[in-house]
Chain A
Amino acid sequence: MMERVIETRKVTKHYLMGDLCVKALRGVDLTVNRGEFVAIMGASGSGKSTLLNVIGCLDRPTSGQYLLDGVDTSGFSRDQYAEVRNQRIGFVFQTFNLLPRTTALDNVELPLFYDRTGKFNDPRAAAVESLERVGLGDRMHHDPSELSGGQRQRVAMARALVNNPSIILADEPTGNLDSRTSVDVLSVFQELNEQGITVLLVTHETDIAQYAKRIVVMRDGLIVSDRQVWDRRSAAQDLEAMPSHDEMVELVAEGE
């Protein structure tokens, strides 16, 4: 029996801009089961981010229902929303959204600061572990301004992971990264997915979508296509096959 983690029913989202009403979502029905890896694609402005924000409890739908783990969230209070974000969802933004002038470690620890369950005896250790999980154990005490784009995204991922969420949502996490770093980041997502975490990932790039198990395509605030990926790729393997930066330099040198 498949476990429905995410279920949206006729979810709409309208933005009022003066007299103009922008219909970002026009009734989206989407069901995601536990353990899935979904890539959401679509043209710019088709409503991908809006949908992801609703799913991540960062925003409320204008109408429709959103069931999280089978529970309707429409009646949730602000504090319950905060609790969901804190406990069950890890969110990775395209623009990282790290606190400036705050070390990677402190950034990663931030969600634990607002944890009210008391399940973390040692938040610091949990943050260190999370950073090591994304391969950034050696950069813990650096500020975001001292990190590369890829490293910043890893910090953001470590932050999303630190609370052991069951769902990870990522809005164009590779949008600001070069292709090699993108594949690298995707390998982390795939690894997390292997561990049972449900992953939803918004992307423009068809290459990136190939690493998901399922691709959903949106247009004008509606889902227009929804299919499984049969020839799914492994980011870890691709990464090995890709030339490293050093090799690339050599290739370029040979070509000359």
Chain B
Amino acid sequence: MLWPKRLLRVALKGLIKNRMRSLLTTLGVIIGVASVIVMVGIGAGAQADIETQISSLGTNMLMAFPGASRHGGVSRGAGSYNKMTLDDAEAIRERAEYISAVSGVVRSGAQVIGGTGDWSTGVMGVSPEYLEIRAWGLEEGKFFDERDIRSRAKVAVVGATIVDELFPNEDPIGQKIRINKTPFRIVGVLEEKGASGFGRDEDDTILVPVTTGLYRLSGGKYINMIFVSARSLEDSEAAEEELREILRQEHRLNPGEEDDFRIHSQAEFIEMATETQEVMTLLLGAVAAVSLIVGGIGIMNIMLVSVTERTREIGIRLAVGARSSDILVQFLTESVVLSLLGGTIGVLLAYILTTVLNDAVGMTTIIQPGVVAIAFGFAAAIGVFFGYYPARKAAMLNPIDALRYE
């Protein structure tokens, strides 16, 4: 072996002499590595986004809606069996063990007048526990309590959009608004939730006590759904069973009779979203793999194209007394230096791109260390292999054959 210092010097000299080739090779590695890291980072970011969105739906939430889930089935005569009432919600509150919070929900569209103008939005009648079920917070003021429920108080808690629309320059707390002509007092403002991934503005809402909503704003008999929280994620299934049992008893359904309501769980949503996300991740992964391979082919091409010239160079070196091992070490060093350089720049570029995407574009991109390692390793391996392999072939030739090579 020659002095490593000398070999490193000759390798670096070689790289500088073949600037264009060096540059193009590194470029291949850079693009390959950076695109894979960013691509998979976008996939992972989207996944994380959806997970936060789903968990922002509430805590271990279950929802019961009236109406049979099955399209066919025996049609029922009595309409009331297909409906839900506040009594159903009360029964759950009293009897359920695995359920920590219950809220009947009444929904109605409403024309709201107050402050600077009017606005049409959705009004939800809910119980005080609703906030806990949805894992929402209050920006200011207070939420209504049991007393307000009992007294059917005309108080409202509004979302940020309502504040923006009606009271852009004032403190909304204590202000009067009219919902479908009925006067209400604003007692609280909900924490802003920002753009939701489900295309709905979650801040464009008004919450009122469920009794107020039921008796003063809508028909006065049936509620639209019941929201509950299971005590914990592990209790979700037990809570769902319990919810079903209580509702069946309340609706006096015989064994064998179908449910006249549907239950959806947060877990179910997570499952659905995860499935979608898996498809997307797969897609992004495939694109990433393609770009890595394209980058690899780029590296390969450049390395192979330069072989003719390099083969003559190898012939000359052999002719003046280089050993095969000298040549191999030189070329291996060149390839490793190029690949490491390209890989490092690629990773840096990926970090820069990710930062730009996250901060300037507002996307969520997550760099995954495993992917960084794989991309770096793959690109470097290709660089080293295609830099080294042709050189190895040439170094094993007779000097005269290497010199003659075209």
Binding site for B on A (CB under 8 A): 53, 58-60, 78-79, 82-83, 85-87, 91, 93, 97-102, 110-111, 113-116, 159, 163
With the chains together, A114 CA to B321 CA distance in Å?
6
A-B pairs, 3 with minimum CB distance: A86-B321, A111-B320, A58-B400
* B326 A114 Cβ-Cβ under 8 A: yes
A-B contact pairs, 19 of them (CB 8 A): A58-B319, A58-B400, A59-B398, A59-B400, A78-B324, A82-B323, A85-B319, A85-B321, A97-B319, A100-B309, A110-B316, A111-B320, A111-B321, A113-B10, A113-B322, A114-B320, A114-B321, A114-B323, A159-B320
Do A85 and B326 contact each other (CB < 8 Å), given the known contacts A97-B319, A111-B320, A113-B6?
no
Q: A58-B400, A59-B398, A97-B403 are in contact. Are A82 and B316 (CB under 8 A)?
A: no
Task: Kindly identify which residue among B312, B316, B321, B400 contacts A115, using a CB–CB cutoff of 8 Å.
Answer: B321
A-chain residues with CB within 8 Å of residue B318 when the two chains form the complex: 82, 85
CB of B321 within 8 A of CB of A87, answer yes
Is there contact, CB below 8 Å, between B320 and A85?
yes
Known: A113-B6, A114-B326, A116-B2. A82 touches B321 (CB 8 A): yes
Q: How far is the CA of A96 from the CA of B320 in the complex (A)?
A: 13
Q: Is there contact, CB below 8 Å, between A99 and B2?
A: no
The distance in angstroms between the C-alpha atoms of A93 and B403, with both chains bound, is 10
- Verify B399–A58 contact, CB threshold 8 A: yes
| Chain B residues packing against A (C-beta within 8 Å) | 2, 6, 10, 17, 309, 312-313, 315-326, 398-401, 403
- Chain A residue with Cβ nearest B312: A97
Cα-based distance from A85 to B318 in the complex (angstroms): 8
Q: Inside 8 A of B317's CB, which chain A residues have their CB?
A: 110, 114
Decide if B320 touches A110 in the complex (CB within 8 Å): yes
Residue of B318, B398, B400 ringed by the most chain A CB atoms within 10 A: B400
Say how far A13's CB is from chain B's closest CB, in angstroms: 11
- CB distance B399 to A114 under 8 Å? no
Shortest Cβ distance from B400 into chain A, in angstroms? 4
Smallest beta-carbon distance A204→chain B, Å: 20
Nearest chain B CB to A52's CB is how many angstroms away?
10
Q: Which residues of B contact A91 (CB under 8 A)?
A: 319-320
Closest to B316 in A: A97
Q: Are B319 and A60 in contact (CB under 8 A)?
A: no
CA distance A111 to B322 in the complex (A): 8
Across-interface contacts of A111 in B (CB, < 8 A): 320-321
Least Cβ distance of A73 to chain B in Å? Answer: 14
Q: Shortest beta-carbon distance, A126 to chain B, in Å?
A: 14
- Chain A residue numbers with a CB within 8 Å of B2 are 113-114, 116
A87 to B323, CA, bound (A): 13
Complex formed: what's the CA distance from A79 to B313 in Å? Answer: 18
CB distance from A186 to the nearest CB of B (A): 22
Chain B contacts of A113 at CB under 8 A? 2, 6, 10, 322
Contacts of A99 in B (CB 8 A): 313, 316
Bound form: Cα–Cα A122–B321 in Å:
18
Residue of A nearest to B398 (CB): A59
Cβ distance B109 to chain A, nearest Cβ, rounded Å: 78
The residues of A that contact B322 with a CB separation of less than 8 Å are 82, 86, 113-114
Does A85 contact B399, Cβ atoms closer than 8 Å? yes
Residue of B nearest to A97 (CB): B316
A92 to B: closest C-beta gap in Å:
11
> Which A residues lie within 8 Å of B401 (CB)?
59
User: With the chains together, A113 CA to B10 CA distance in Å?
Assistant: 9
Question: Which residue on chain B has the smallest CB distance to residue A162?
Answer: B320
Query: Known pairs A115-B321, A159-B320. 6 more at Cβ < 8 A?
Result: A53-B400, A58-B319, A85-B319, A97-B316, A110-B316, A111-B320
A2 to B325, CA, bound (A): 38
How far is A98 from B324 in the complex, measured between Cα atoms in Å?
19
Report how far A86 CA is from B401 CA in the complex, Å: 18
Complex Cα gap A49–B17 (Å): 31
* Complex: chain B residue closest to A85, CB-CB: B321
Q: From the candidates B309, B316, B325, B326, name the one contacting A98 in the complex (CB within 8 A).
A: B316
Q: How far is the CA of A102 from the CA of B309 in the complex (A)?
A: 14
Task: Give the residues in chain B near A159, CB-CB below 8 Å.
Answer: 320
Would you call B321 and A83 a contact (CB within 8 A)? yes
Chain B residues in 8 Å Cβ range of A102: 17
- Please give, as numbers and ranges, the residues of chain A lying within 8 Å of B324 by CB-CB distance: 78-79, 82
The interface residues of chain A lying within 8 Å CB-to-CB of B325 are 79
- Residues of A within 8 Å of B6, CB to CB, are 113
Which chain B positions have C-beta within 8 A of A53? 400
* B323 touching A79, Cβ below 8 Å: yes
Contact A78 B323 (CB under 8 A): yes
Chain B residue contacts of A114, Cβ below 8 A: 2, 317, 320-323, 326
Set of chain B residues within 8 Å of A163, measured between Cβ atoms: 321
- A110 vs B319: C-alpha distance when bound (angstroms): 10
Chain B residue with Cβ nearest A115 = B321
Contact B398 A58 (CB under 8 A): yes
Chain B residues with CB under 8 A of A59: 398-401
For residue B324, which residue of chain A has the nearest CB?
A78
A86 contacts B17, CB within 8 Å? no
Shortest beta-carbon distance, A224 to chain B, in Å?
Answer: 24
Give the distance in Å from the alpha carbon of A99 to the alpha carbon of B322 in the complex.
14
Looking at the assembled complex, report how far the CB atom of B395 sits from the nearest CB atom of chain A, in whole angstroms.
10
A99 to B385, CA, bound (A): 24
A101 CB contacts on chain B under 8 angstroms: 17
- Complexed CA–CA distance, A78 and B372 (Å): 42
User: What is the distance, in angstroms, from B8's C-beta to the closest C-beta of chain A?
Assistant: 13
Chain A nearest CB from B53 CB (Å) reads 59
- Select from chain B the residue with minimum beta-carbon distance to A53: B400
CA distance A53 to B401 in the complex (A): 11
Complex CA gap A98/B326 in Å reads 19
A115 to B312, CA, bound (A): 21
Query: Looking at B6, B319, B403, which has the most chain A CB atoms within 10 Å of its CB?
Result: B319
Give the shortest distance, in Å, between B21 (CB) and chain A (any CB).
Answer: 12
- How far is it, in angstroms, between the C-alpha of A98 and the C-alpha of B315 when the chains are bound? 10
A residues in contact with B403, CB < 8 Å:
93, 97
